[in-house]
Amino acid sequence: MSIEAIGKNIALFRKEKGATQEQLAKYVGVSPQAVSKWENGGVPDTELLTKIADYFETSIDALFDRDLFDYSSIENAVIRKLQQIPRKYRFHSVMEFCWVIQQSVFGIGQPVGSLEDFQKNFDKSTQRYASVRDDGGYTLMGLGNRLSYFFVAPEIEDKEMAYFEGIDYVSLFADLADPAVFDTLVLLNQREQNKAFTPNLLVKNLEIPFEKAQEVINTIKKYGLIRTIMIEMDDSTQEVYSFQPDPAFCALLVFAREIIVQPDNYSFFSNGRTRPYLK
């Protein structure tokens, strides 16, 4: 543990959060001059440490660069590292870890650089990929600025149970083939979560008849994404709906796109697979 580290880390966390010394000072309940003093080598009073850590969504130990875990354990090291990162930046850090994992699975002994530096070489419309496929499983990774993602699937033996048992894919894809259903799912995923709506939202935005809008809502309700709310009015009851977004729909779009537009711009690709994917 380093006493001197706390001032450096306060400055670092503050800049990562995009906050001013005045904003931190107001939250903690001190003067901006006190924050400046900390960042230049001073140490906050003990009773302020919890509020400072809360402001940065981190731990007191992270403020002091104090390691509580055994770094011979990679699991503990990853947990510790992510806990030190402000929450708004954590998913970017997770992608950096995935980038290292992808390179390791591919067989690279030393990382070739950060994902952020890698992406700087391409404009926002460029999409790059990485994939390793063998009989132990497969990875799929989007590297570009347009979309970043990482998917890993270790090999499983019972494909019937994993993929097909009890699942009616045909009905799902038939429903999604209706443009009104698909467009409604896109529209609802663009709105605030659980914001109430009526069929008139679809009538107005999708330019479909009221009866069709109600039919679409009933279709989506089958998948548990829409629930009905009854609101008591002065002399009547109004039926409205609430939509619960599911990131699985976004994932579906990601991989459907890769089926429609086959990825061909790979930075890392290895295909030693001999087994069928679904058998």
Domain locations along the chain: 1-85, 169-248
* 1-85: CATH topology: 434 Repressor (Amino-terminal Domain) (1.10.260)
- Report helix, strand or coil for 139: strand
Q: Say whether 169-248 and 1-85 share the same fold.
A: no
Per-residue model confidence as pLDDT tens digits over 214-265: 999 999 999 999 999 988 877 788 899 999 899 999 999 999 999 999 888 8
Alpha-helical (H) ranges within the chain are 5-17, 21-28, 32-39, 49-55, 60-63, 74-83, 90-106, 115-119, 159, 169-176, 179-189, 199-206, 210-221, 247-260
Q: State in words which class domain 169-248 has.
A: mainly alpha
DSSP, residue by residue, 184-247: HHHHHHTSPTT--B-HHHHHHHH---HHHHHHHHHHHHTTTSEEEEEEE-SSSEEEEEEE---H
Alpha-carbon distance 142 to 129, whole Å?
5
Per-residue model confidence as pLDDT tens digits over 168-210: 999 999 999 999 999 999 999 999 887 899 999 999 999 999 9
Per-residue model confidence as pLDDT tens digits over 21-63: 999 999 999 999 999 999 888 888 888 888 898 888 777 877 8
